[in-house]
Chains A and B, each alone.
Chain A
Amino acid sequence: MAAFSGMRGIASVPTYVVMQPTTLCNLDCTYCYLPLRGADRRMPAEVATAVAGAVNAWAATGRFSVVWHGGEPLAAGREHFASLLAPFDEGVEHHIQTNATLIDDAWCDFFAEHQIRVSISVDGPRERNADRVTRGGRPSYDRIMHGIEALRRHGIDFSALCVVAQPAPGLANELYDYFLDLGCDVLGINIEELEGVNARSNARDPAAVTAFWAELVAAWRRAPRIHIREVEWSLRYAAAVLDGTADDVLPRQLDPIPTVGYDGSVVLLSPELAGFSHPHYGDFTSGNVLSTPLPEIIANAADRTTWIAEFLAGVEACRTSCAYFGFCGGAHAANRYFEHGRFDGTETDHCRNSKMRLLEGVLDHARDHEPSPA
């Protein structure tokens, strides 16, 4: 097996920080992994100030982003959100992942004023959003579309994340056509995962998943106006293999991806672990920005956080055992934990559905669509 050299250890500087302005979400999606989404625990401004101390320094030397995630970040309200943005320098990019239901003209003005890049969560046409419901169990689709229409009205570009529960023939075509009409720039597809408080199994029929990805490539190829995250990454890897640079694809080190919870606690590598605890691993946090500078938390994490040392051993196990490592970089921490109960296992259902079958689907498409001889 090829020896891939990337993903060794954790980088001292992340490319972005995930922030949780509130734990609250106004929706109650059945597949959601967040444990505290029914509680309104808001991030105090002191936490944002502490994070900004590190982030402003990182942004001074290169591109750096803060991703406001949730809960539903807009549930924090504009006034409070503005107080959290205030400590960050102008050069810091801000992104938001939102369910779109609270977006109105005032929020659009807010996005424009603060140059916030918007990504929405929607699972396709109305009938595909049965899992995305309000706290009262009612459909949320009309409210999602109301928010998207506000974005369109204000000329605000947006990306989209779509969760696919059951890949089936025809679904990829349907979804791609939908997102073309929706007008998003970038689309990411997540096959539903067994994660957090979502205990639904994500074991899927391998052939159906591979066929879904192959169909998505074909759909994209007919009108390649949207960036599809999964297609772009697969093509990037395939191109590197063909030109002999496959070992250059993975980053040299893992991105620590600090997730800063509402209370300042920091979970590295997998935001999905925030809010959980385990008798052996504790609460998965590596420190709190209110007492320790973020760079120090990152620097000491591999030595001081039990699960991270185990996870790094798991990455090495993936490196030596999996032919897809050069494409994947190792199973994600949260998927290992929620599927295996530990961090040093290797292949997960998420690996199979969203990495292995993905690449296979792209290659199947390429194999079956050779150009006709001139």
Chain B
Amino acid sequence: MPETTSRRQPDAVLDPVAERVHEARTGLTALLAEAAEARRQRSETADGGSDSGAVCAWNHFENIPTFYNWNNRPR
């Protein structure tokens, strides 16, 4: 049997959106660090979130829960 010389890449690499994110990694890493510091300065703490039920994770700034529900938003 011939040796397999090509390997299927993981899905994440084939995802064009993920690919765009990875291409922007350097700039994003700096931006994410600044965002984390901004949140810290606003004295907010990540609660880690729960993905059970319909509750979105990352709601550490969930003072207005409706704002962060991504399957619909208040107008």
Contacts and interface: CB of A to CB of B under 8 A. Distances in A.
Contact of B32 (A159, A235, A272, A367): A235
A16 B61 contact: no
The residue among B11, B54, B71 with the most chain A CB atoms within 10 A of its own CB is: B71
A238 B14 contact: no
Per DSSP, chain A at the interface is: mixed
A221 B34 contact: yes
Contacts of A7: 71
Given A15-B69, A195-B75, A253-B53, A363 B21 contact: yes
A275 to B, nearest CB: 14
A374 B65 CA distance: 40
Contacts, number: 186
B63 interface: yes
Interface residues of B, number: 47
Contacts of B53: 11-13, 15, 251-253
A366 interface: yes
Contacts of B61: 186, 227, 232
A244 B57 CA distance: 16
Indicate the size class of the contact surface on chain A.
35 or more
A319 interface: no
Interface in A185-237: 185-186, 188, 190, 193, 195, 217, 221, 224-225, 227, 229, 231-233, 235-237
A14 interface: yes
Contact of A11 (B17, B32, B34, B54): B54
A207 to B, nearest CB: 16
